[in-house]
Amino acid sequence: MPHPFSSCQSRLREGRWSAVRPIIVLPVRTLAILFQLLIATALAEAQSNPRKPVRPPLDLPRHDVSIPREWLTGVSDLTAGFGPSEQESYYQVLAEARDRSLSAQKQAAAENLALAEQEFRADKSNRKRQYRLFYDLVTRPESWRGQPVTLRGYIRDLTPMEVGENRSGLEQLYQAHLFTEDSAQFPYVVVCTEIPPGLPRPEVRRPTDFITVTGYFYKLWSYRAETESGRWSAPLILAGRLEWNPPRPTESSWRRLGPVVWLALGGLVTGLVTLLVRRRVHDREAIRRLRGLSQEPLPSESEIRQALEDLSQEEQGPHR
């Protein structure tokens, strides 16, 4: 039965948390809703007038691993599928993502992100706001087209895709919907040429977490959705490899607990040895005493009679 004082303490903690919880949870939910509305507004504005830029362009450098501009001249945003002018460049970009150095792509993606964040912080109106790559891709697709980006999050589906005729040697593709911290409930559409062995396939209520994708932003992809227009849009990323890096808590935990476990085992063994030694010494002492008693001579019959007479005289007392 729990102590009354402990139950009072738990009630106090629950009361404090119930009082503080609205103060913490409400602003977080409000910010999340506002961000979702911000992205939804940007997507709706972009879909209503695809040719009108939502924000001023961002001047990103052309890296050695950036996609040549001439490959992307026929790419159009907010379209379903690929037009005739996009078919060849689609496969070319996928082949580049597969063949180019992944480390070089990641380095270029990190430099692009640093420049975009620097430009975002230079605007005084953004001092209390957080930079979000998803929003930047949606509002300035022309600035990011053909540029490498790195995304981290979880996937809710993974579908093998049929590959049409192409001159890039592509034989197998995979499509996934990737959700990151800055995209909230809006997914990135990722098409890649390779997935890691042993990757658990995501299910409806069991998404696959710890996913990293480094690839090229290609276009704003339009797909069917339950909206007023019946369609929605998402950034399309073309990548070579889908990376899965789950943590290994068991190994690190055992390594940290190793010295503690060995000390506990050593203390247990020492205690058992001490107990056995003490018990053996006690047994030896008892055996020695028994042997000593067995070696003492027994009294004779005359000595026993004399002892009995002495006892009887003591009980009768002295004669008057």
68-104 pLDDT, tens digit each: 999 999 999 998 888 888 999 999 999 999 999 999 9
Q: Buried (b) or exposed (e) across 63-81, using 16+ Cβ within 10 A?
A: bebbbeeebbeebebbeee
Residue 21: CB atoms within 10 Å: 10
Tally the domains of the chain. Answer: 1
User: Is the pLDDT at 13 greater than 90, yes or no?
Assistant: no
Give domain status of residue 314, yes or no: no
Give domain status of residue 36, yes or no: no
Distance CA(142)–CA(138), nearest Å, equals 10
Give domain status of residue 312, yes or no: no
Distance CA(67)–CA(45), nearest Å, equals 27
- Going by pLDDT thresholds of 50, 70 and 90, the confidence category of residue 2 is very low
- Going by pLDDT thresholds of 50, 70 and 90, the confidence category of residue 44 is low
User: What radius of gyration do the chain's Cα atoms show?
Assistant: 40
Give domain status of residue 173, yes or no: yes
Give domain status of residue 147, yes or no: yes
122-164 pLDDT, tens digit each: 999 998 899 999 999 999 999 999 999 999 999 999 999 989 8
Give domain status of residue 189, yes or no: yes
Give domain status of residue 203, yes or no: yes
Find the domain containing 187 and state its range.
53-250
- Going by pLDDT thresholds of 50, 70 and 90, the confidence category of residue 55 is confident
Q: Residue 6 is encoded by which pair of tokens?
A: 């402990």
Give domain status of residue 119, yes or no: yes
- Going by pLDDT thresholds of 50, 70 and 90, the confidence category of residue 23 is low
Contact between 206 and 149 under an 8 Å Cβ cutoff? The reply is no
Mean pLDDT of the residues in the chain = 81
Per-residue confidence (pLDDT) for residue 4, from 0 to 100: 42
